[in-house]
Amino acid sequence: MLQDLRFVSAPDGVRICTSSIGAGRPLLKAPNWLSHTGLDIDSSAFRHWWAALSAHHRFVRFDQRGCGLSDWLVPEMSFASWVGDLECVADALHVDEFDLFGMSQGASVAIEYAARHPERVRRLVLYGGFARGWAKRGEEEEHRAILALIKRGWGGDNPAYRQLFTSQFMPDATLEQMHSFNEIQRLSSSPENAMQFQIEVGNIDVTERLPHVRAPTLVLHSQGDARIPFEQGREIAASIPDARFVALESRNHILLEHEPAWTSFRRELRDFLDEEPPPIRHPAPVSATAAEQPARLTPREIEVLRLVAAGRTDRQIAADLTISARTVGNHVKHILAKTECANRTAAAMYATSHGIL
């Protein structure tokens, strides 16, 4: 596999390393812990994942802040910053919509993004995810012990500390796959960042956001997952409207290439992403009737255009729609391009002539 590595800058200046593999409709992967775009492309633990996800798509992934080839010294490491980084990378795709994939911790990030930006997500795939972090699930005792192990031996030469995680992530792995995963752990992040990751993951709670996801959604989870309880996958699927749930016969949090569950996962993923989705369940149009709406503008772009016509600034629009000012700016660029308007004043006149008031 040949990957194209590039960097984008988050609003707080953190440099995020992105990887693009394959061609076709964009499939964007939300960030999750333990990634290293420079190394895991050839890892026996991960390369079958990237090959499958890029087989029929332009597959874009990126290293979460604090690990891999992204900046390790960062001003903030939080769930909010992870979602913000996803927004930044999504805007850099320069497309109106894309398919979104989240695994493990990344599923929560993907859920929050999909709830915020229903007009951008064509289809949503969640694997091995959770809506509530370990601290919200009452698993404090176990994870406090894990934090102590990370602090004691994460970055050292003794792999015994990291082997604990490997055994949870892939209990049925071969010795080669375990060694590969151990090395990815050692090289992907610092002990300090690994501890902070674990603390922040424990406090995640997106349960109230699940009913707000509008994109067609596929949820998959291994029945014997030793890392994320199977019940967490069921909770996500039961709370997202019309989500489809697939239980996989596996003990592995990271599916292995030669197990039957991997074949099932690939088939379900391909069939789901190849389907033409029904119209996204957007809220009712803001002002104009369906007949009056410009056909080339998305519902979110119409919302933004209405506020532009009302004289609102990007920052004010961002506050009104609960999105970032950067995202508003990108919407305005798309609106000007689609309507062939030279500036915001011309766009406001366009809105008036089309009944978007």
Q: In this structure, what CATH number is given to the domain that contains residue 241? A: 3.40.50.1820
**Across-strand partners of 9?**
15
Q: Are residues 258 and 303 in the same domain?
A: no
3-class SS at 162? Answer: helix
Indicate whether 283 pLDDT > 50.
Answer: no
CATH number, position 316: 1.10.10.10
The span from the CA of 346 to the CA of 293, in Å, is: 17
pLDDT for 153 equals 62
Indicate whether 115 pLDDT > 90.
Answer: yes
Is residue 290 one of the residues assigned to a domain?
no
Q: Are residues 154 and 246 in the same domain?
A: yes
Q: Are residues 253 and 339 in the same domain?
A: no
The span from the CA of 206 to the CA of 49, in Å, is: 26
Rounded to the nearest integer, the mean pLDDT of the chain is 88
Is residue 294 one of the residues assigned to a domain?
no
Element (H, E) at 103: strand 98-103
Contact assessment for residue 241 and residue 280, using Cβ atoms and an 8 Å cutoff = no
Contact assessment for residue 209 and residue 83, using Cβ atoms and an 8 Å cutoff = no
The span from the CA of 269 to the CA of 124, in Å, is: 10
Identify the DSSP state of 34.
S
Is residue 112 one of the residues assigned to a domain?
yes
Contact assessment for residue 251 and residue 171, using Cβ atoms and an 8 Å cutoff = yes
Region of poorest pLDDT, from 34-43, 72-81, 277-286: 277-286
The band of 316, judged by pLDDT with boundaries at 50, 70 and 90, is confident
pLDDT for 143 equals 65
Region of poorest pLDDT, from 177-181, 267-271, 299-303: 299-303
Q: Are residues 142 and 231 in the same domain?
A: yes
pTM assigned to the model? 0.76
- CB proximity list for 245: less than 8 A, separation 6 or greater: 219, 220, 221, 233, 234, 237, 238
Domain end (from 232, 257, 274):
274
Nearest C-alpha neighbor of 161 from the set 171, 170, 172, 150: 150
Range with top average pLDDT, 17-21, 175-179, 287-291: 17-21
pLDDT for 346 equals 85
pLDDT for 347 equals 85
The band of 268, judged by pLDDT with boundaries at 50, 70 and 90, is very high
| Residue pLDDT, tens place only, 117-133 | 999 999 999 999 999 99
State the Cα angle at 64 between 62 and 68, rounded to 5°: 80
State mean pLDDT over 54-78.
Answer: 96
The span from the CA of 201 to the CA of 188, in Å, is: 17
Indicate whether 192 pLDDT > 70.
Answer: yes
Long-range contacts of 139-146, Cβ-Cβ distance < 8 Å, separation of 24 or more: 140/202, 143/198, 143/202, 146/198
Q: Which two tokens stand for residue 55?
A: 């087989």
pLDDT for 158 equals 61
Indicate whether 92 pLDDT > 70.
Answer: yes
The band of 287, judged by pLDDT with boundaries at 50, 70 and 90, is very low
Q: Are residues 310 and 245 in the same domain?
A: no
The band of 291, judged by pLDDT with boundaries at 50, 70 and 90, is very low
Q: Are residues 243 and 95 in the same domain?
A: yes
The band of 239, judged by pLDDT with boundaries at 50, 70 and 90, is very high
What ranges in the chain are assigned the alpha helix state H? 47-53, 79-92, 105-116, 140-153, 160-169, 175-188, 191-202, 230-239, 260-274, 299-309, 314-321, 325-339, 344-353
Element (H, E) at 125: strand 121-127
Strands across the sheet containing 98-103: 4-9, 15-21, 57-62, 25-29, 98-103, 121-127, 217-222, 244-248
The total number of structural domains in the chain stands at: 2
Is residue 47 one of the residues assigned to a domain?
yes
Range of the domain at 116: 4-274
Nearest C-alpha neighbor of 335 from the set 151, 119, 173: 119
State mean pLDDT over 282-286.
Answer: 44
310: left (phi over 0), alpha (psi -120 to 50) or beta: alpha
Region of poorest pLDDT, from 77-86, 124-133, 173-182, 222-231: 173-182
Dihedral of alpha carbons 284, 213, 246, 139, sign: negative
Is residue 341 one of the residues assigned to a domain?
yes
What ranges in 2-127 are assigned the alpha helix state H? 47-53, 79-92, 105-116
| Residue pLDDT, tens place only, 334-348 | 888 888 888 888 888
Q: Are residues 171 and 266 in the same domain?
A: yes
The band of 196, judged by pLDDT with boundaries at 50, 70 and 90, is confident
What ranges in 275-324 are assigned the alpha helix state H? 299-309, 314-321
Q: Are residues 338 and 265 in the same domain?
A: no
Is residue 292 one of the residues assigned to a domain?
no
Q: Are residues 306 and 264 in the same domain?
A: no
| Residue pLDDT, tens place only, 138-160 | 776 666 767 766 766 665 566 66
Is residue 291 one of the residues assigned to a domain?
no
Q: Are residues 23 and 143 in the same domain?
A: yes
Q: Are residues 213 and 338 in the same domain?
A: no
Domain end (from 241, 274, 307):
274
Is residue 289 one of the residues assigned to a domain?
no
Q: Are residues 337 and 253 in the same domain?
A: no
Answer with the residue of higher pLDDT: 213 or 199. 213
